[in-house]
Amino acid sequence: MDKLVIEGGSRLAGEVRISGAKNAALPILCAALLSTEPLVLENVPDLNDIGTMLALLAQMGVRVTREGSTVSLDASTLDNPTAPYEMVKTMRASILVLGPLVARCGIAKVSLPGGCAIGARPVDQHIKGLQAMGAEVSVEHGYVQARVSQLKGARLFTDMVTVTGTENLMMAACLADGETVIENAAREPEVVDLAQCLSAMGARISGAGTDVIRIRGVDRLHGARHRIMPDRIETGTFLCAAAATGGEVRLLGTSTGYLDAVVDKLMDAGCDIVSEKTPQHEAIVLRAPARLKAVSIRTSPYPAFPTDMQAQFMAINCVAEGSAVIRETIFENRFMHAVELIRLGADIKIDGNTAFVTGVQRLQGATVMATDLRASASLVVAGLVAEGETHVERIYHLDRGYEHIEAKLTGLGARIRREKA
């Protein structure tokens, strides 16, 4: 297993290009299952999770070709509507094949994802929605088994805001007979990006980005070409890394439009953030103060503060001036980075879903262990400002969601290298 070795103390400066969004690419790759014509996707990030999803689609019979960040998928030869446990257990987002398979094939056998480090992560809302659309869905021997002759449009109401639940049901509804209305829908920008791709394929969707999405089913979807949106969480992560180090960076190929809650909090912490936008270019420029002011956060569904940025903000609060309260309202166990940050000298107290962080002058480098994707990112941010060397172990978590992170950080002046653990 690899680890990252980080020598703290460098002030990040310079330019870095943000990659395509993992959490937009994953559902959009699954959208290819809905058509017998090729779907060509640009700006697909080079991530382990993307590789896992492409392998999952290929074993179903989808023809996949990749040239740099452009991926072409041809699902005309789809002949195995199954997602086996061995593949699904490594990536929960595999559940996103369920809706498209039921809509396209009338049958699907998808392994239950199981929980992960941050929570139980049930998929009951995905199942409830497909049942409401007429599918017979049962859970047997760890697999979701679904069958239907033709999905029917329905009015769906999810018990809580669920991003992949909304995405699964929206994709299924594209080929249903009649209109489907999803109420309490997730409003995340990745849902909107998926809706734009589906519309380019001929779907009839309105309301994406609001909490009521209407889909008028059509007989078939055709091929399309779509460019994946920039990764707002990678953007936020690099903004936090630059902010923690008192740096000045320009992030290329991204915009603040998807990150208002995060940008507001970084400005409250003392950063100066400017958006650049021309027809050929979009970027964010951040200038940080020598030391940040502590900022409290409370995670909630979009457009509020994203849970995927909670760990990174805990890291910057560890060295900020003052104290902050961090409330995690989405997942039941998303504070595992706290004990690792404490190993670096942070002052953090946890009480249920609330963390109390008091900034210290300096963190001290140490060996720490990554436990999940965004926890890993928070440990890298902390390592950039800790005194001496920080070894972040089990960085396979990091490689799931950050493209070439050590090369990008090195380009900004960080002293960071990958080693065999």
Instruction: Using the minimum distance from each CB to ligand EPZ, give the nearer residue, 50 or 373.
Output: 373
**Amino acid of residue 65:** T
Residues serving a catalytic function are: 116
What's the distance, Cα to Cα, between the start and end of the chain in Å?
6
- Listed in order, strand segments (DSSP E) in 127-270 are 136-140, 143-147, 155-157, 179-183, 204-206, 212-216, 224-227, 248-252
Min dist. Cβ of residue 21 to ligand EPZ (A): 9
Find the shortest distance in angstroms from Cβ 126 to ligand EPZ: 5
> What is the nearest approach in angstroms of ligand EPZ to the Cβ of residue 136?
18
> Which residues touch 210 (CB under 8 Å, ≥6 apart)?
185, 187
CB atoms within 10 A of CB 254: 26
Smallest gap from residue 111 Cβ to ligand EPZ (A)? 15
CA 149 to chain CA centroid, Å, is: 33
Q: Is 293 exposed, middle or buried (0-12, 13-18, 19+ CB in 10 A)?
A: middle
CB of 377 to ligand EPZ, least distance (A): 9
Q: Roughly what angle, to the nearest 10 degrees, separates helices 232-244 and 310-318?
A: 0
- For ligand EPZ, the closer CB: 226 or 365: 226
Measured from the CB of residue 96, what is the shortest distance to ligand EPZ in angstroms?
7
Q: Which is nearer to ligand EPZ, 26 or 88 (CB)?
A: 26
Closest to ligand EPZ by CB, 14 vs 119, is 119
Nearer to ligand EPZ, 300 or 364 (CB): 300
- The strand ranges marked E within 223-381 are 224-227, 248-252, 272-278, 281-287, 297-298, 323-327, 347-351, 354-358, 367-369
Binding residues for ligand EPZ, rule: CB under 6 A, are 23, 26, 93, 119, 121-126, 160, 162-165, 307-308, 330-331, 373-374, 401
CA 407 to each of CA 51, 73, 280, 402, 413: distance values in angstroms, whole numbers, following the listed order: 20, 29, 25, 11, 10
Residue 72 phi, psi dihedral angles, 5° rounding: -115, 135
Rg (CA), the chain: 21
- Cβ-based nearer residue to ligand EPZ, 5 or 28: 28
